[in-house]
Amino acid sequence: MGRAPCCDKNGLKRGPWTTDEDEILVNYINKNNGHGSWRSLPQQAGLLRCGKSCRLRWTNYLRPDIKRGPFTEEEQKLIIQLHGMLGNRWAAIASQLPGRTDNEIKNLWNTHLKKRLVRSGINPQNHEPFTSDGSTPRASASTTTRHMAQWESARLEAEARLSRDSSQFNTPFLEKSDSDYFLRLWYSDVGESFRKLPMSGKTPSDSPISEASSSGKCRSISAVTTEISHCLMGSAIMGADQDDDIEYKVFKSVTGEDMVYRIYKSMDDNVIRGSDSSSTNKLDDSSESPMDMLLDYPMNNDMSFFEDDMHNYATSTSANVENDFICPL
DNA sequence: AAAGAGAACAACCGCAGTACT
DNA sequence: AAGTACTGCGGTTGTTCTCTT
């Protein structure tokens, strides 16, 4: 049963790679049109390294599509914004920055960005301001849950708009909503990883999400919000009034609990219903950018604190620096 | 110029999910 | 079905570089 034993590490080299080793590895992969089995690669290539070390060296350093050099302002902003949504999910963050590795982003965060946030009075763990006693407000609401709620709310808004648009214009989704960052992000790698959060991955043990996951409630949240989106989209299309009572009834009917509804209600009104709460159609497009709505930085997405000394870390700057989210999809 | 401190980054470790036998 | 390897991921460590005194 099982496979052959893993390579023993006796006699294998460790530590920094030499240029000769790099060359051997690159040549081997190029020659064979890929790395093949990492386990057998070192022997076949003539390297005194374990396969894991080779894989790491390749993926983090030698891969031809890796972008070397300092991070641009846009990249650093994006990392902070994505970290606010995803937490320490470096691979998911890296998937939105072509050419950057999760390791590189992790290092940048730990050496630069985290400290910058702390200096600015922002808790890098949850992206909320520190209070005088060192704690953070809204401590009862888990960051992960809020992230999830934000994702879901953004998706609801986008899908509602999509539904409305398609009902009005009868045009295919991708043609009509190509500019819809929410849906594109939602269906991107980041969105996928986020959607999978309750199902797998490492969730902080103290997070209500992990508790909910173990009891199956996380799926309920997702399912609930999906149903809500369908309900609200239907209402939007039919021109029905989506008042709080309707929302509450739907949540209540699906979950049987008030908790999820409270999470939902705690979200920014601008996100889920648009800025004008008196509007009869609460799903009207907002004038805010998608990222403004998607993110809820305590500084209202004002990242001036970050820009102040950004030039100390970025050597390449863009002529048109924008706060808009750059979605490389 | 030398020593120490801190920053930067590459590499390693261990865990978890998946694939394979 | 069970055991093991493979792979990806995040946390951590170790080494090198840079700056300050």
Does A185 map to a domain? yes
**How high is the pLDDT of residue A186?**
55
Cβ of A130 less than 7 A from strand B: no
Cβ of A319 less than 7 A from strand C: no
Q: How many domains does the structure of chain A reveal?
A: 2
Does A267 map to a domain? yes
Does A148 map to a domain? yes
Cβ of A109 less than 7 A from strand B: no
**How many angstroms separate the CA of A135 from the C1' of C18?**
35
Cβ of A58 less than 7 A from strand B: no
Cβ of A5 less than 7 A from strand C: yes
**How many angstroms separate the CA of A24 from the C1' of B16?**
31
What does the angle CA A61 – CA A51 – CA A28 come to, to the nearest 5 degrees? Answer: 65
Does A222 map to a domain? yes
Does A308 map to a domain? no
Answer yes or no: do A58 and A148 share one domain.
Answer: no
Answer yes or no: do A174 and A281 share one domain.
Answer: yes
Q: Residue A54 corresponds to which tokens in the numbers above?
A: 């080779």
Cβ of A64 less than 7 A from strand C: no
Answer yes or no: do A287 and A152 share one domain.
Answer: yes
Average pLDDT value for residue range A225-229 = 39
- Facing residues of A129 across strands? A122
Does A197 map to a domain? yes
Cβ of A20 less than 7 A from strand B: no
Answer yes or no: do A152 and A247 share one domain.
Answer: yes
Please state, in angstroms and rounded to a whole number, the distance separating the CA atoms of residues A9 and A72.
39
A65 pLDDT above the threshold of 70: yes
Cβ of A68 less than 7 A from strand C: no
A153 pLDDT above the threshold of 80: no
What does the angle CA A59 – CA A60 – CA A62 come to, to the nearest 5 degrees? Answer: 75
Does A4 map to a domain? no
Give the end of a domain, one of A62, A89, A118: A62
Please state, in angstroms and rounded to a whole number, the distance separating the CA atoms of residues A220 and A256.
11
b (16+ CB within 10 A) / e for A79-89: bbbbbbbbbeb
Phi, psi for residue A236 in degrees, rounded to 5: -65, -45
Average pLDDT value for residue range A43-55 = 86
Please state, in angstroms and rounded to a whole number, the distance separating the CA atoms of residues A312 and A97.
21
Show which positions of strand C are touched by protein (CB under 7 A): 1-12, 15-16
Cβ of A88 less than 7 A from strand C: yes
Domain enclosing residue A245, as ranges = 143-294
Q: Which of A35-39, A140-144, A270-274 has the lowest mean pLDDT?
A: A270-274
Cβ of A38 less than 7 A from strand C: yes
Please state, in angstroms and rounded to a whole number, the distance separating the CA atoms of residues A98 and A202.
24
Which amino acid, residue A295? L
Q: Residue A207 corresponds to which tokens in the numbers above?
A: 């997070």
* Helix pair angle (A143-169, A217-238), 10° resolution: 30
Answer yes or no: do A147 and A56 share one domain.
Answer: no
Does A77 map to a domain? no
What does the DSSP 8-state code read for residue A122? E
pLDDT digits (tens, 9 = 90+) for A111-146: 888 888 877 777 777 777 766 555 554 444 445 455
**How many angstroms separate the CA of A21 from the C1' of B5?**
33
**How many angstroms separate the CA of A54 from the C1' of C18?**
29
A144 neighbors A207 (Cβ within 8 angstroms): yes
> With bands split at pLDDT 50, 70 and 90, how would you rate the model's confidence at A22?
confident
Average pLDDT value for residue range A253-282 = 34
| Shortest CA to C1' contact from A60: nucleotide | B10
Answer yes or no: do A176 and A269 share one domain.
Answer: yes
Answer yes or no: do A54 and A155 share one domain.
Answer: no
**How many angstroms separate the CA of A111 from the C1' of B4?**
20
- Looking at chain A, the whole-number percentage of residues with pLDDT higher than 90 is 0
Q: Which of A10-14, A194-198, A199-203 has the lowest mean pLDDT?
A: A199-203
